[in-house]
Amino acid sequence: MLAAALLFALPAGSGAAAPTLKVWFLQGEQMVSVDRTGATAADAVAALLAGPTAAERGLGMRTYVPAGTTLNGVTVANGVARVDVGLKFVLGTDAESLDARLAQLVHTVSGVEGAKSVQLLADGGTVYGMFPGIVTSRPITLKYLETPNVPASQPAPPAPGAPVAGLLQAQRKLAALGFLLPADVDGQNGPQTQTAVLAFQKWEGLGRDGVLGSQTLAALANAQHPSPITQGPPGKRAEVLLDRQVALAIDDNKVVRVIPVSTGKPSTPTPPGNFKVYAKIPKWWSTPFREWLLWAAPFNAGVAFHEFAEVPTYPASHGCVREMETTAKWMYDFSAVGMPVKVMSTSR
């Protein structure tokens, strides 16, 4: 009864809080919302065009809406929001960037003033063919963007490498050090071994080619078992080392496995800090980029461990921690909801 009694309009000047709405930006591979003052669809779009604050950027939030995009007008009628923006909004050749900015707009406007779909206009004209794979000539719904339009594909593992003298001995050493699983000590220079060699090379600061050459073999002969960079509580946890581009899977302060990863590129860096895995999603769909993120373990909003087809030896992601097909399922199984994740450089 008390709650019901409070549902009345406060008189002007009574200190009522200003209305707020949600504006959507990106963090990692997913959308995140922030509150902004406003009540209309025009307020929402204006706030979107203004972009994230400096503090929000410090948390890894970003926008793909081009700076300087103008707003010509917004109207909402019969559940359709007609948003007229400057031509700059629809220009560009990067399909991922185009998809992301459109997803931001549709997320931000949907629900405001009863809008159920968004009709995009550019300088008053209907937009045709500017967003690859997305029909913008008619109103767009959130469901349309959130529905996968491509099958989940498995990336091809590396091809078997050339024979290596002393391979079985090298595999045993890699397994003892935590770079290779004992079950993969088989005398074959296959994908798992190449992945382990790449992780070892990254950890030791060697050339990153995944090949057991003379320099790598020499370093392997004298290598010591990796140790966590920080000490933590008992149980499972992970350290993501931005400078070495590896992730350490740790249990009771012992490194169980070292895996090669690719973190955020300079324009979309992986935010450092202390986080916790908050979900495990075997097939996660990235609405802004319209792509599958398999074996995902998100730990910081849209930032997650996940499998990806392209995992170069350097930072290249949108902020997530990309993993190879050879390691992603293992890391998914190792992870647990609530598991601490520390993103850092070796120097801390």
CATH of the domain at 208: 1.10.101.10
Residue 158 falls within a domain, yes or no?
no
Residue 131: inside a domain, yes or no?
yes
Residues 188 and 107 placed together within one structural domain of the fold: no
Domain count, the chain: 3
Based on the domain organization, do 263 and 332 belong to the same domain?
yes
Which one of 91, 114, 146 terminates a domain?
146
Cβ-contact 89, 66 below 8 angstroms: yes
Co-location of 118 and 212 in the same domain:
no
In this predicted structure, what is the pLDDT of residue 149?
86
| 314: containing domain | 236-344
Are residue 338 and residue 312 in the same domain, yes or no? yes
In the sheet that 80-85 helps form, which strands lie side by side, from edge to edge?
A: 71-77, 80-85, 117-122, 125-126
Task: Give the domain-ending residue among 187, 221, 255.
Answer: 221
Task: For residues 299 and 208, state if they share a domain.
Answer: no
pLDDT tens digits, the chain, 348 residues: what are they? 333 333 334 344 556 789 999 999 999 999 999 999 999 999 999 999 999 999 999 999 999 999 999 999 999 999 999 999 999 999 988 888 999 999 999 999 999 999 999 999 999 999 999 998 899 999 999 999 999 988 887 777 677 777 778 899 999 999 999 999 999 999 999 999 999 999 999 999 999 999 999 999 999 999 999 999 999 999 999 999 999 999 999 999 999 999 999 999 999 999 999 999 999 999 999 999 999 999 999 999 999 999 999 999 999 999 999 999 999 999 999 999 999 999 999 975
Q: Please indicate, yes or no, if residue 265 is contained in any of the structural domains.
A: yes
- Supply the pLDDT for residue 2: 35
Inside any domain, residue 33? yes
Q: Are residues 98 and 211 in the same domain?
A: no
Residue spans of alpha helices (H) in the chain: 2-5, 41-50, 54-58, 95-109, 142-146, 167-177, 191-204, 214-221, 328-334
Instruction: Identify whether residues 259 and 183 lie together within a single domain.
Output: no
- Is 179 contained in some domain? yes
Decide if 155 is inside a domain: no
> Among 268, 238, 245, which Cα is nearest to 29's?
268
Are 73 and 30 in a shared domain? yes
Between CA 335 and CA 345 the distance in angstroms is: 21
The tally of CA atoms less than 13 A away on the side-chain side of residue 161 is 22
Q: Where are the strands (E) in the chain, listed by range? A: 20-27, 30-37, 71-77, 80-85, 117-122, 125-126, 236-241, 246-251, 254-260, 273-276, 281-286, 291-300, 303-307, 321-323, 340-344
Residues 33 and 135 in one domain: yes
* Domain contains 141: yes
Same domain for 171 and 135, yes or no, is: no
Same domain? 246 vs 200: no
Asked if the structure places residue 116 within a domain, the reply is yes
If asked whether residues 21 and 130 sit together in one domain, one would say yes
Output the domain CATH number for residue 286. 2.40.440.10
First to last CA, the chain: 54
Q: Which of 94, 100, 117, 118 is nearest to 61 (CA)?
A: 100
Q: Quote the tokens at residue 210.
A: 């995944």
